[in-house]
Amino acid sequence: MTTTDPAHQGRPAVRPARAARRRLGVAALSARPFRPGRPDPVQPGVEPLIAAHRAVYPSVDVHELRRAYAVAERMHRGQPRKSGAPYVTHPLAVAMILAAMGMDTTTLVAALLHDTVEDTPYTLGEVRADFGDEIAVLVDGVTKLDGEKWGDRAEAETFRKIVLAAAADLRVLVIKLADRLHNLRTIGFQSPHKRERIANASLELLGPFAERLGIYVLKRELDDLAFAARDPAAHAATEVAVADALADVDTALGPALSRLRSALAEHRVRARVSLRPRHLYSVYRDLGADPGRMRPSEAGRVLIVVDGDDQECYIALGAVHSALRPIPGRVKDFIALPKFNLYQSLHTVVIGPEGDLLDVIVRSRAMHPVAEYGIVAHIRAAGNEAATADAVAGRRDLGWLRQLLTWQSSAPSAEFLHSLRAELATGHVAAFTPAGDVMALPAGATAIDFAYALGTETGDRCIGVLINGRLAALSAEIRSGQVVEILTAPGGGPSEEWLEFATTAQTRVRIQHWLASRRADEAADTGRRGLALALAAHGIDLLAAEAQGESLAIARGLGFVELDDMYAAMDGGRLSLDELVGRFTEPAT
Q: How confident is the model at residue 222 (pLDDT cuts 50, 70, 90)?
A: very high
Calculate ∠ Cα 169-181-429, nearest 5°: 60
Q: What angle do CA 441, 442, 445 make, to 5 degrees?
A: 80
Q: How far, in Å, CA of 488 to CA of 194, rounded?
A: 50
In the predicted structure, residue 419 carries a pLDDT above the cut 80: no
For the stretch 11-14, contacts whose Cβ atoms lie closer than 8 Å and that sit 24 or more positions apart, written own/partner, are 11/240, 13/240, 13/243, 13/244, 14/239, 14/240, 14/243
Determine, yes or no, domain membership for 570: yes
* Residue 556 confidence (pLDDT) above 90: no
Q: Chain-centre distance of CA 388, in angstroms?
A: 21
Residue 14 pLDDT > 50, yes or no? no
Which H or E run contains 358? strand 357-364
CA-CA distance, 124 to 144, in Å (whole number)?
Answer: 13
Q: Give the whole-angstrom CA distance, residue 216 versus residue 235.
A: 19
What is the 3-class SS of 171-219, one letter each residue? Answer: HHHHHHHHHHHHHHHCHHHCCHHHHHHHHHHHHHHHHHHHHHCCCHHHH
The answer to whether residue 395 is domain-embedded is: no
The answer as to whether 290 is a domain residue is: yes
Judge if 251 and 162 occupy the same domain.
no
Query: Domain check: are 24 and 165 in the same one?
Result: yes
What is the sign, positive or negative, of the torsion defined by CA atoms of 564, 565, 570, 575? negative
Of 22-26, 282-286, 313-317, 372-376, which range is least confident?
22-26
Residue 382 maps to a domain? no
The answer to whether residues 461 and 525 belong to one domain is no
pLDDT-derived band at 407 (thresholds 50, 70, 90) equals low
pLDDT band at 22 (very low <50, low <70, confident <90, very high): very low
Q: Are residues 60 and 188 in the same domain?
A: yes
- Give the model's confidence band at 72: pLDDT under 50 very low, under 70 low, under 90 confident, else very high: very high
Tell whether the model's pLDDT for residue 381 goes beyond 80: no
Residue 573 included in any domain = yes
Query: Mind listing the pLDDT tens digit for each residue in 113-126?
Result: 999 998 899 999 99
Mean predicted lDDT score pLDDT of the chain: 82
Residue 411: pLDDT over 90: no
User: Is 419 a member of any domain?
Assistant: no
Is the Cβ–Cβ distance between 484 and 454 less than 8 Å? no
Q: The CATH number of the domain where 105 resides is what?
A: 1.10.3210.10
Q: How far is CA 209 from the centre of its chain?
A: 2
Q: Map 469-525 to HEC letters.
A: CEEECCCCECCCCCEEEEEECCCCCCCCCHHHHCCCHHHHHHHHHHHHHHHHHHHHH
pLDDT tens digits, one per residue of 126-172: 999 999 998 999 998 888 765 555 666 677 777 777 877 777 788 88
User: Per mean pLDDT, which of 141-155, 319-333, 393-407 is the most reliable?
Assistant: 319-333
Q: Residue 331 has what pLDDT?
A: 92
Find out whether 475 and 448 touch, Cβ atoms under 8 Å. Answer: yes
User: Could you tell me if 222 and 254 lie in one domain?
Assistant: no
At 410, is the pLDDT very low, low, confident or very high (cuts 50, 70, 90)?
Answer: low
pLDDT at 261: 94
Mean pLDDT of 287-315: 88
Does the structure show a pLDDT above 80 at 476? yes
Instruction: Note whether residue 417 is domain-resident.
Output: no
pLDDT score of 130 = 94
Phi and psi at residue 165, to the nearest 5°: -65, -40
**Which residues participate in catalysis according to the annotation?**
118-119
Count of beta carbons in the 10 Å neighbourhood of residue 437: 9
pLDDT of residue 89: 93
Q: What is the pLDDT of residue 36?
A: 34
Q: Which of 355, 372, 389 is the last residue of a domain?
A: 372
Q: Same domain, yes or no, for 81 and 204?
A: yes
Nearest to 580, CA basis, from 522, 523, 540 = 540
Number of separate domains in the chain: 4
Residues 461 and 335 in one domain: no
440 and 552 in a common domain: no
76-99 pLDDT per residue, tens:
999 998 888 899 999 999 999 999
3-state secondary structure of 581: helix
CATH number at residue 492: 3.10.20.30
Give the per-residue pLDDT at 396: 47
Same domain, 223 and 339: no
Helix (H) or strand (E) holding 405: helix 399-408
Query: Mean pLDDT throughout 489-512?
Result: 86
Give ∠ CA 234-236-240 in degrees, rounded to 5: 120
Domain end marker among 231, 257, 280? 231
Query: Could you tell me if 97 and 168 lie in one domain?
Result: yes
Query: Among the three residues 333, 348, 372, which one is the final residue of a domain in this structure?
Result: 372
Neighbouring-strand partners of residue 350: 326, 358
Q: Binning pLDDT at 50, 70 and 90, where does residue 209 land?
A: confident
The verdict on residue 394 lying in a domain is no
Residue 312 has pLDDT above 80, yes or no: yes
Please report the pLDDT score of residue 248 as a whole number: 80
Per-residue pLDDT tens digits for 452-475 = 888 888 999 999 999 999 999 999
Whole-structure pTM value:
0.73
At 17 the pLDDT is: 36
Whether residues 314 and 202 fall in one domain: no
The CATH number assigned to the domain holding 274 equals 3.30.460.10
Residue 568 sits in which domain range? 512-585
466-475: long-range pairs with CB below 8 Å, 24+: 472/447, 473/447, 474/446, 474/447, 474/448, 474/498, 474/501, 475/446, 475/447, 475/448, 475/500, 475/501
Judge if 543 and 489 occupy the same domain.
no
For residues 24 and 529, the model is more confident at 529
**Region 382-393 average pLDDT:** 58
